[in-house]
Amino acid sequence: MTALIYCPFPDAATAERLGGQLLAENLIGCINIGGPIRSLFCWQGEMGAGEEIPALIKTDASLLDRAVTRLEALHPYDTPAIMGWRCDSAGSGTAQ
Amino acid sequence: MTALIYCPFPDAATAERLGGQLLAENLIGCINIGGPIRSLFCWQGEMGAGEEIPALIKTDASLLDRAVTRLEALHPYDTPAIMGWRCDSAGSGTAQ
Amino acid sequence: MTALIYCPFPDAATAERLGGQLLAENLIGCINIGGPIRSLFCWQGEMGAGEEIPALIKTDASLLDRAVTRLEALHPYDTPAIMGWRCDSAGSGTAQ
């Protein structure tokens, strides 16, 4: 079954580069890179805000943990927000 | 309980047409159609890229499989990426 | 473990204000506010459409229900669509 990963990136070029890397390593099936988002967050007790580029990544449930771990290693942030979840239903052509 | 479906479309007009069809068939409660995304993918061993229109669809968990199957039948791609998951929490007014 | 909440807002200012409120109340870790979406929906048997602002909110699974309930109380719609789900995998730095 399919799984999805959501992760914001600092910019589109980084999202494309890391998405291409994960594709080349056969850890994901595709990455959808969106338009700019405005992010508000609380970090070490301080409110902050910034602009990021969101990406939604399709992978297989059996690869989810490995893809999240590899993306974290590649991501330029010290503590990137990387969130994955298994799907309950998918089109027959959706599997990797 | 509510469920969500994520699906990229070739363009906004197709997303609206198919979303309207699923609404008319009472298979979904709403469709949110986003701005353009850049998609990178690996298909039959070949890397590819393109522009798509993402949509997030709200339905009921009891209708999830039927909505995914119907969307796949309507979608213009041969193997569309259609991914659905059940929610664990929802506003009281969110149910269809 | 991390959890995500998806919620459309009437505009970006409302999304920022309510996101800031939930951050100040330590109910969420961050909010990602996207560009405009076109929403099609069926409400009390009538088809409708409109423009909204989507937001994806990161919280902790232990706070998910409280964050959804509080967001519903703050949201300007009578019956806002607020959908939350627990993640199955997250980067080590992703937890709140």
Q: Please list the pLDDT of chain A residue by residue as tens digits (96 residues).
A: 999 999 999 999 999 999 999 999 999 999 999 999 999 999 888 899 999 999 999 999 999 999 999 999 999 999 999 999 999 999 998 864
- H-type alpha helices, chain A: 12-24, 64-74
Interchain pair C78, B93: CB under 8 A:
yes
Which CATH number is B65's domain given? 3.30.70.120
Q: Which SS3 state, helix, strand or coil, does residue C69 take? A: helix
Cβ pair A42:C19 closer than 8 A: no
Kindly list the residues from chain A whose CB atom is less than 8 angstroms away from the CB atom of residue C33.
37-40
pLDDT band at C95, cuts 50/70/90?
low
Smallest Cβ–Cβ distance between B78 and the set A12, A56, A93 belongs to A93
In a domain, B96, yes or no: no
Joined together, the tokens standing for residue B70 give 């119907």
Residue in C40, C41, C85 closest to B16 by CB: C40
Backbone phi, psi, residue A53, to 5°: -115, 120
Q: Give which of C3, C41, B65 is closest to A1, Cα–Cα.
A: B65
Q: Is A9 domain-assigned?
A: yes
| Chain B neighbours, 3+ Cβ pairs < 8 A | A, C
Nearest by CB to A52, from C32, C58, C90: name it: C32
Is pLDDT above 60 for C96?
no
Q: Is residue B92 part of a domain?
A: no
Query: Looking at the domain assignment, is residue A70 inside a domain?
Result: no
Composition of chain C by helix, strand, coil, percent to 5? 30, 40, 30
Phi and psi at residue B37, to the nearest 5°: -120, 155
**Cα separation of C4 and C61, whole Å?**
8
Q: What are phi and psi of A94, to 5 degrees?
A: -80, -30
User: For residue C61, what is the nearest residue in chain A, using CA coordinates?
Assistant: A83
Confidence at residue A93, expressed as pLDDT on a 0 to 100 scale: 82
**Is residue B81 in a domain?**
yes
pLDDT of residue B64: 98
At B55 the pLDDT is 98
Question: ipTM for the complex?
Answer: 0.96
Contacts 24+ apart (CB under 8 A), C67-70: C67/C5, C67/C22, C67/C27, C67/C28, C68/B89, C68/B90, C68/B91, C68/C5, C69/B91, C70/C22, C70/C25, C70/C27
Q: How far is A11 from chain C (nearest CA, A)?
A: 14
Rounded to the nearest integer, the mean pLDDT of chain C is 96
Please report whether residue B94 resides in a domain. Answer: no
The reply to whether residue B94 touches residue C77, judged by beta carbons under 8 angstroms, is no
* Tally of domains within chain B: 1
- Higher pLDDT among residues B94 and C6, named by residue: C6
Of the two residues C95 and C61, the one the predictor is more confident about is C61
Distance of alpha carbon A8 from alpha carbon A72, whole angstroms? 12
pLDDT confidence of residue B93: 83
Separation in Å, CA C87 to CA A66, B40, C50, C62: 15, 24, 30, 12
Residue B20: which domain range?
A: 2-86
Q: CA-to-CA distance for A35 and B75, rounded, in angstroms?
A: 24
Report if residue C93 sits inside a domain.
Answer: no
Is the CB of B18 inside 8 Å of chain C's CB atoms? no
Reading chain B (96 residues) residue by residue, the pLDDT tens digits are: 999 999 999 999 999 999 999 999 999 999 999 999 999 999 888 899 999 999 999 999 999 999 999 999 999 999 999 999 999 999 998 864
Domain-embedded: residue B93: no
Residues in B touching C47 (Cβ below 8 Å): 20, 23-24
